[in-house]
Amino acid sequence: MYTYKELKEEHTNNADRLAYIDFMLRFTGIVKRSDIGGMFNLSDAAASKVLADYSRVWGRNIEYNRSLRANAIVRNNYNPVIELDAETSLGMLAHGFNKNKLHQVAKTTIPFEKIGRVSNELSVEFIARITRAINGKYAISCEYLSENSNNHSRRMIIPLAIMHDGVNWMFRGYHRDDNNKIFFKNFHFSRALDVVEHFEGGEYKALPHETLESDKEWNLVLPLQLRIHPDRDESQKRRIRIDFGIPENKDTLTTSVRCAFLWIMEREWFIDSKNDEENSDTKRSKFFKFELLNAEMLKLVKQGNL
């Protein structure tokens, strides 16, 4: 496995393109000539030459799949060409391939440091298996260490999308064998262990009701009408206005969120979503920045759409 520096030294003119091919194979399972052409503004002939160069050196990693009409990963033989950590890999899957992220110390335009980066590194191999399943629309099985359950048995999940809440990397998925019949859920990459891809066999392919298009909580976007919490004093209110871009003479803020992320938003923005009666026992012990003004309306919207 190469560092980006070593790859540049050995394949001076092609290093970025070869790294891109390897990245696509590893995390999506396929790479097309049109992908390479679009990323590097290359003609079809030039893109084909880069693919040929990759195949010549790392031919055991790649094969042409006629059913997919694309160059595909050879899972049994694949060995990564370039070193990538989990944070870099997921970041590029979310925001696009970026050669500057390939350096051991990422190149930035101005000094940058991520605060509170979790030290327990995620498994890049497990991430790759999950993201290939997202792209290929098939199932994975894994042991999942749920926060809300002691049931850590193997689960059959159709991964659908990746997400980041500012701290944790997660994926949305359809849990086929959920006992409570709550099938669409958010899963943490860090809690998915012993991940196995099920890329062969029609029974493992995502069915129409198991896709993101059928995920009602994902597709339902809720409007949130917020007001700075009345428990905050004037000094606290002023800081909240500055942090959230609220005009000096206002206390309200309107935004929107996918229903699937509402609980995350409530936690991270310190939103009081309960009425006074529900809050009576805990109100004094909890800190809130906002109160949710349209909580009842949101309940009705969810009841009518979920």
d(CA 62, CA 130): 19
Which fold, 4-102? Arc Repressor Mutant, subunit A (1.10.10)
**CATH fold group of domain 124-209:** SH3 type barrels. (2.30.30)
Helices 86-95 and 124-136 pack at an angle, to 10 degrees, of 20
Tokens encoding 232: 């905050």
Give CA–CA dist 128/191, Å, rounded.
15
Place of tokens 């799949």: 65
Nearest Cα neighbor of 61 from 81, 85, 86, 37 is 81
DSSP 8-class letter at 275: -
pLDDT digits (tens, 9 = 90+) for 57-87: 999 999 999 999 999 999 999 999 999 999 9
- Structural domain boundaries in the chain: 4-102, 124-209, 220-305
Q: What is the pTM of this model?
A: 0.92
Helix (H) or strand (E) holding 99: none
* pLDDT tens by residue, 102-148: 987 778 889 888 877 666 579 999 999 999 999 999 999 999 998 87
